[in-house]
Homo-oligomer: A and B are copies of this chain.
Amino acid sequence: MTSADTVTTLQRIANLLRIDSIEATQASNSGHPTSCSSMAEIVSVLFFDVMHYDPKDPRNPAADRFVLSKGHCAPILYAAWAQAGAFPVADLKNLRKIDSDLEGHPTPRLNFIDVATGSLGQGLGFASGMAYAGKYFDKSDYRVYCVLGDGECSEGSVWESFAFASFYKLDNLCAIIDINRLGQSDPTPLQHDLETYRKRVDAFGWHPIIVNGQDVSQLLAAFKEASETKDKPTCILAKTFKGSGLKGIENELDWHGKPLGDKADELVANLRKLVNEESLVRPAIKKIVAKVPEIKKDKEIKLSTPPNYDGKKEIATRLAHDGDTKNSTYSIKFHDAFPKRFVECYIAEQNMVQVAIGIATRQRYTAFVHTFAAFLLRAADQIRMGAISFTRVKYVGSHAGVSIGEDGPSQMALEDFAFFRTVPHIVCFYPSDAVSAERAVELAANYDGAVYIRTSRPNFPILYKNDEVFQIGKAKIIVESSNDVCTIVGGGVTLHEAVKASEKLKAQGKAIRVIDAFTVKPIDRETILKSANATHNRIIVVEDHYLEGGLGEAVMAALADQADIKIIHLAVQEVARSGKSAELLSKYGIDAEHIVNAVEKLL
């Protein structure tokens, strides 16, 4: 089928990509040329024979996708796109410069990158999300390719993704493991034991194909076999050599992550002979043939029906936003045509987040991720990388704080805001009743960026009218009078405790102001400052979160440049334990009684 000419051409292009990788890393005086070299044939075959895409329209939704899980090999990926015509080859020498988007590891600042990689073991999950969207949402024929390093196969997240992709029969997904045997400082645990890789991949339900990864013909045959394999994803196990094609360096330790220095010139000269660029005729890039459904853009997403509570029944915010009620996360009309909107990811939070980030690429689908807030932390590094991908994924964490009660500390998120607040440009919602929870979901769906929504286990009274209007960064004053002695800022369960405290204090003739922060990031500096100024510059922040990094420090940070304001902070200060919700709120000093005491101490 494949002509000898094609094979020769692809081999020459592989060497051209090696040269580009060496020269770029020489220019930046850092980077990973040897890890690039082992995958040169894989990249050449994929970009110049296998994949259907348009170098001038790299985010075309019908194009095949490529994810470089081993992100440190960015130079050869950039080289492939440059040689394919996406941008001038000469730009490759701007690698890692501050004014170039050709960063040390790929990020979507480049229009041909969908997801940031560089934290290992994440690419296959992103690719699985893309493949899931392709097969089940887009119902399209585009394919998804993902190159992994062998070292990163030690990451459990990789095996979560292997299990996920086979469970959902993602036969539009093809992983290639560049098994070059050598890690950063040591050989990898399996070195060149291809048979063990085959057994693992097979046991996880994939179709494994072992090839010599430096052999263009074998790679071409393997990609063909992959495209013809039904109901299973394919994993090509490519036996390669680190520094392949670089004499004196190939298959040697101590060449990880460094440019070739004074060896570069001679090695490049040798490779140039093999390439013979003057006579090289690059094959035409395969045209995009897949179709994808059109998605109407710029439509405001609205709740299918507005909140409708009679105010008599107490409702948990975890329920108000959840799939069990008609105005659920999932029943909101994100888009007109969602054939199947719920993706069960089982107990594998890292992959869940990766899949969501993958699904949300190319701005087509809005993905909500939902688990216990405590367990979202399992995917902290994925969420961190999601920020570098500028993802628009919405994270929903339930069962926050000690107020969950008897299940005990392992199930209580007490550090979620500390982590989520660090995500640049994220919005962190903390709804305190069912109405605001529904509106948080609505605002989240419309926000052009990542979102975190913290929900709670206990049932709360309804605080707001069904038609109350909420905005990102706008707090609500729940209780106020003209002679308030201080301001309490709360969220979730502690807001309700603050309301109770205000009632107790009122009975003693003391008035306090109570503020529902609603969003912890951005925090409503203006309302809180004005309120503080109106209440003797006294603020008490009370939260069902550890002392550090939550609502309390958000308020402190907002007012740090203000002299004169005194802030008292009530929060959980030790490892919590099992007990009834009310007992725990009392034990950890964040219930109405402790708020009353704090107010009295302030006066």
Residues of A within 8 A of B (CB): 28, 30-31, 71, 96-98, 100-101, 103-105, 107, 109, 116-121, 151-152, 154-160, 163, 167, 183, 186, 188-189, 196, 199-200, 202-205, 344, 346-351, 374-375, 377-378, 380-381, 384-385, 387-388, 390, 406-411, 414-415, 418-419, 421-425, 521, 537, 546-549, 552-554, 556-557, 560-569, 573-575, 577-580, 583-584, 587
Given contacts A549-B553, A563-B566, A575-B388, whether A154 and B410 have CB atoms under 8 Å apart is no
Q: Given contacts A96-B578, A422-B546, could you give 16 more A-B pairs where the C-beta distance is less than 8 Å?
A: A100-B578, A103-B408, A119-B374, A154-B163, A154-B346, A156-B350, A159-B159, A202-B203, A375-B381, A377-B384, A388-B409, A415-B419, A415-B423, A425-B574, A553-B553, A556-B556
Of the residues B155, B204, B421, contact of A348 by C-beta under 8 Å: B155
Nearest Cβ on chain B to A497's Cβ, whole angstroms: 18
Asked if residues A155 and B347 are in contact (CB atoms below 8 Å), the reply is yes
Asked if residues A587 and B377 are in contact (CB atoms below 8 Å), the reply is no
Asked if residues A563 and B577 are in contact (CB atoms below 8 Å), the reply is no
Asked if residues B557 and A569 are in contact (CB atoms below 8 Å), the reply is yes
Q: Chain B contacts of A375 at CB under 8 A?
A: 119, 381
Nearest Cβ on chain B to A475's Cβ, whole angstroms: 18
**Of A103, A349, A408, A554, most B-chain CB atoms within 10 Å:** A408
Asked if residues A421 and B548 are in contact (CB atoms below 8 Å), the reply is yes
**Could you list 22 examples of A-B contacts with CB < 8 Å?**
A28-B406, A96-B579, A98-B578, A103-B577, A104-B411, A119-B374, A151-B346, A154-B160, A155-B347, A156-B157, A163-B189, A196-B203, A200-B200, A200-B203, A203-B203, A378-B381, A385-B410, A418-B549, A421-B548, A422-B546, A424-B575, A564-B564
Asked if residues B415 and A384 are in contact (CB atoms below 8 Å), the reply is yes
Asked if residues A557 and B563 are in contact (CB atoms below 8 Å), the reply is no
CA distance A68 to B553 in the complex (A): 37
Q: Chain B contacts of A574 at CB under 8 A?
A: 424-425
Nearest Cβ on chain B to A32's Cβ, whole angstroms: 10
CA distance A140 to B117 in the complex (A): 43
CA distance A239 to B561 in the complex (A): 62
CA distance A337 to B369 in the complex (A): 48
Of the residues B107, B202, B387, contact of A199 by C-beta under 8 Å: B202
The residue of chain B having its C-beta at the shortest distance from the C-beta of A586 within the complex is: B98
The residue of chain B having its C-beta at the shortest distance from the C-beta of A545 within the complex is: B422
Asked if residues A71 and B410 are in contact (CB atoms below 8 Å), the reply is yes
CA distance A78 to B422 in the complex (A): 39
CA distance A158 to B163 in the complex (A): 13
Of the residues B105, B163, B580, contact of A410 by C-beta under 8 Å: B105
Asked if residues A347 and B154 are in contact (CB atoms below 8 Å), the reply is yes
Q: Chain B contacts of A200 at CB under 8 A?
A: 200, 203-204
Q: Chain B contacts of A167 at CB under 8 A?
A: 189
The residue of chain B having its C-beta at the shortest distance from the C-beta of A385 within the complex is: B410
Of the residues B31, B158, B160, B577, contact of A109 by C-beta under 8 Å: B577
CA distance A557 to B568 in the complex (A): 9
Q: Chain B contacts of A196 at CB under 8 A?
A: 203, 205
Asked if residues B119 and A577 are in contact (CB atoms below 8 Å), the reply is no
Q: Chain B contacts of A552 at CB under 8 A?
A: 557, 560
Asked if residues B557 and A553 are in contact (CB atoms below 8 Å), the reply is yes
Nearest Cβ on chain B to A353's Cβ, whole angstroms: 12
The residue of chain B having its C-beta at the shortest distance from the C-beta of A121 within the complex is: B347
Asked if residues B154 and A156 are in contact (CB atoms below 8 Å), the reply is no
Given contacts A564-B564, A579-B98, whether A422 and B549 have CB atoms under 8 Å apart is yes
Of the residues B384, B414, B566, contact of A374 by C-beta under 8 Å: B384
**Of A205, A556, A583, most B-chain CB atoms within 10 Å:** A556
Q: Chain B contacts of A384 at CB under 8 A?
A: 374, 377, 415
Asked if residues B388 and A381 are in contact (CB atoms below 8 Å), the reply is no
The residue of chain B having its C-beta at the shortest distance from the C-beta of A117 within the complex is: B410
Of the residues B107, B183, B410, B583, contact of A119 by C-beta under 8 Å: B410
The residue of chain B having its C-beta at the shortest distance from the C-beta of A257 within the complex is: B407
Nearest Cβ on chain B to A602's Cβ, whole angstroms: 10
Given contacts A203-B203, A549-B549, A557-B553, whether A411 and B105 have CB atoms under 8 Å apart is yes
CA distance A203 to B159 in the complex (A): 12
Q: Chain B contacts of A580 at CB under 8 A?
A: 98
